[in-house]
Amino acid sequence: MEVYAFNLMPYRHLDFEAARQHRALWTVLPNTLYDPERGADLYQEYIDQMVYAASLGFDGVCVNEHHQTAYGLMPAPNLIASILIDRTRGTNVKIPVIGRALPLVNNPLNIAEEFALLDNLSKGRLIAGFVRGIGCEYHATGVNPAFSHERFHEAHDLIVRAWTEDGPFSFEGKHFNFRYTNTWPRPYQRPRPDIWIPSQGSGETITWAAEPSRKYPFIITFSPIASVLKYHMQYRQQAETYGYAASGSQLGWAVPIYVAETDEIARKEAKAHIEMLFNTFLKVPIEMLFPPGYTSAASLAANLAGRQGMSVQDQTIDSLIEKGTFVVGSADTVVRQIKEAQAVSGFEKLIMMYQFGTLPDDLARKNLQLFAEDVMPQLGRAG
């Protein structure tokens, strides 16, 4: 199994009492609640943690993109990736950016260029994740969510062509038109960097990602284990429909994991921080989360949301454990849960969100260390 460490880089020093006066920690949370002194230290803390993870034997360290939120402090994840690339120079540690939100930019060639540059800087250690961004980010950027899918597919086609076709060539689309497409530098990897598709799961995305010319690894993020496995199996079925058998490396699970000396200690140490992630950082009114046209699941979501108008009901560590949204416990407990899930779908990519909510530096580092020492060796590592 390939194992990656992932950090959203939440602003864990937030004044949560003040923050809860606002409808969400997204888009309208006043940026006066961000303290640059503490924030600057936090970036250093998180970057050092990821470099530490790289030294412990993780296959890669992942960053991602979010805008106008305390949930994740990387509006420009490639800047952080660039630092991680340099601080892991000479290793074979992968740097997955999972991902850049393609529809949110008006010139996707910027993303093609930046990724190509990172691929050169890392001598081929970049993994390029493509996402659509979450609903709030259509409010934050002004980009029309009704054209989100169109823009995603068109930007994807443009970027892949820019990486794999000899330039210059012209590109003619509905949203993007370029007379000269001629990306300097070209990517280091031939024909191109690996592409991953992180997703909360959608049939349409699976059909697209599993298509034989793509075979993109499909990474289900932060969902109950039952739906993670359901989507994995759906991907496998789709591959069969296309006439091939999907490999386990095409299937990924991104999940918060916390390991401690015993189950009891693990739950006690993780409780406040994981509940903060789900009940405060992720609590968003449905209208912000599912703007019109963003997803056909909006209908379902609206039904579920009912009167309260909130997308996420309050969760406890117990309900998160029960649903398998959060994996927590002693090394043996964590190994067992991962292996049980793996036995069902055969996924080969595990993305461990080792820092979550307000988890402090010492616990985040202990989590990484115990996972690397006591869990990783039991996961059937190819190394």
Using CB under 8 A as the criterion, which residues of the chain lie in contact with other proteins when the complex forms?
A: 23, 138-139, 142-147, 285-288, 291-293, 298-299, 302-303, 307, 309
Least distance (Å) between residue 99 CB and other proteins: 23
Neighbours of 252 (CB within 10 A): 27
What are the phi and psi torsion angles at 230 (to 5°)? -60, -45
Q: Which residue's CB is nearer to other proteins, number 233 or number 301? A: 301
- β-pairing verdict for 177-181 and 169-172: antiparallel
**Nearer residue to other proteins within complex by CB, 231 or 290:** 290
Q: Kindly state the smallest distance separating residue 69's Cβ from other proteins, in Å.
A: 15
For residue 339, what are the CA distances in angstroms to 70, 108, 276, 332? 33, 39, 27, 10
Report the nearest approach of other proteins to the CB of residue 146 (Å).
4
Nearer to other proteins, 179 or 307 (CB): 307
The structure tokens listed for 9 are: 């880089």
Q: In the chain, at which residue ranges do the beta strands (DSSP E only) sit?
A: 2-6, 60-62, 95-101, 126-131, 169-172, 177-181, 194-199, 218-221, 251-259, 327-329, 349-353
For other proteins, give the closer residue by CB, 213 or 303: 303
Q: How far is the CB of 304 from other proteins (least distance, A)?
A: 11
Extract the tokens encoding 143: 């980009």
Of 208, 209, 200, 204, the residue nearest 228 (C-alpha) = 200
Closest approach of Cβ 174 to other proteins, in Å?
A: 9
CB of 211 to other proteins, least distance (A): 22
Give the relative orientation of helices 225-242 and 331-345 as an angle to the nearest 10 degrees.
30
Nearer to other proteins, 138 or 218 (CB): 138
Task: Pick the closer one to other proteins by CB: 243 or 306.
Answer: 306
What is d(CA 315, CA 256) in angstroms, rounded to the nearest whole number?
Answer: 15
Q: How far is the CB of 105 from other proteins (least distance, A)?
A: 14
Q: Which is nearer to other proteins, 153 or 365 (CB)?
A: 153
Query: In Å, how far are 16, 262, 353, 367, 373 from 267, measured between CA atoms?
Result: 22, 9, 16, 12, 19
